[in-house]
Amino acid sequence: MQSKDHWEQVYTTKASSGVSWFQDHARQSMQLIHQTGVDKDAGIIDVGGGASTLVDDLLEEGYAKVTVLDLSEAALSASKSRLGPRAENVSWLVGDITRVELPRHAYDVWHDRAVFHFLTAPAEREAYVQAVLRAVKPGGHVIVATFAEDGPDKCSGLPVMRYSADGLHAEFGAPFTLLQQEREEHHTPFGTVQKFIYCLCRKEPN
Ligand SMILES: C[S@@+](CC[C@H](N)C(=O)[O-])C[C@H]1O[C@@H](n2cnc3c(N)ncnc32)[C@H](O)[C@@H]1O
C-alpha cells in the first residue's frame, strides 16, 4: 500500500483520539515552541500535523500564522471539523513533505512530531532536510520529535528509524545547531508507553 493510501485509511477508519500517537495536548511541543521566543505573528508550520491538537493550542495562545501540512486530507478534515470556524485562521496544505515545494524562508518555526522517523530511505531524509533548508528562515527554529533509541521500531504498523539526539541532529548537519533535547514518555490511549526524543535546533543564518 502506498504511504498516502495508508494514512487516508488510518484517518478514515479511526477516531483522532484512538490512534497510538494521540495527545490531548502537545505539551512538550508547546514548551519547545515557547522556548524559541517567537512572537505571536511568527510563521509556524506543523509538518505531518495529522489531526494533532497542537494547532488548537497555538490558536488558543494567539499564534496567528499557523500552517498544518499532511499527506492525508482526511487528517486535516478531522482537525478542521474539530476547530470549526477557527479553522479559517489556519493554512492547510495537503502534500508529501519529501516532494512538496514550500515557499522560501517562510517559517520561523518548523515542528514535526512522529513524521521524520518514517523516512527510512536516505534519499527521503535528504529531501526532507532540503525542504527545511528552503522553507525555514535563517535563524529560525526546527523542532523534530522521533521515537528514541529505546522507543518502538514501528509506528502505525510501519517501520521507523529511532534516534538519539546527536543522531537526529547529525541527519540535519552543520547548518543546524542543537540547542535543546528532551525525552518524553508518551502514554498511548492503549496504556502502553513510547519513548520519544525531541530536538530543538536553530538554523544558522547563512
Ligand atoms: C504518527 S502520525 C503523527 C501526527 C501528528 N504529528 C501528531 O503528533 O499527532 C504521522 C503523520 O505524518 C503524516 N505523514 C506521513 N508521511 C508523510 C509525508 N511524507 N509527508 C507529509 N505527512 C506525512 C501522516 O499522514 C500522519 O498524519
- Which CATH number is 189's domain given? 3.40.50.150
Please say whether the beta carbons of 174 and 186 come within 8 A.
no
Indicate the length of the chain as a whole number.
206
Q: What pLDDT is stored for residue 190 in this prediction?
A: 96
Give the pTM: 0.98
Tell me how far the alpha carbon of residue 114 lies from the centroid of ligand 1, in angstroms.
7
Tell me how far the alpha carbon of residue 70 lies from the centroid of ligand 1, in angstroms.
6
Tell me which DSSP letter residue 204 carries. Answer: P
Residue nearest to atom 9 of ligand 1 (CA): 52
Q: What pLDDT is stored for residue 29 in this prediction?
A: 98
Residues flanking ligand 1, CB < 6 Å: 3, 7, 21, 48-50, 52, 70-72, 75, 96-98, 113-115, 118, 155-156
State how many domains the chain has. Answer: 1
Query: Residues of the chain whose pLDDT is less than 70?
Result: 1
Cβ burial of 173 (10 Å; 0-12, 13-18, 19+) is exposed
Distance CA 163, CA 175 (A): 19
Tell me how far the alpha carbon of residue 71 lies from the centroid of ligand 1, in angstroms.
7
Angle of helix 3-13 versus helix 73-83 axis, rounded to 10:
30
Q: Which residues of 87-99 are buried (b: 16+ CB within 10 A; e: fewer)?
A: beebebebeebbe
Cell 515557547 belongs to 34
Distance CA 51, CA 63 (A): 18
Q: What pLDDT is stored for residue 1 in this prediction?
A: 54
**Alpha helices, DSSP H, located in the chain:** 3-13, 27-36, 54-60, 73-83, 122-135, 165-172
Please say whether the beta carbons of 73 and 94 come within 8 A.
yes
Angle of helix 165-172 versus helix 122-135 axis, rounded to 10:
70
Tens digits of residue pLDDT in 9-24:
999 999 999 999 999 9
Distance CA 138, CA 117 (A): 24
Q: Which residue segment(s) compose the domain that 57 sits in? A: 4-203
Ligand 1 closest atom vs CA 20: 1
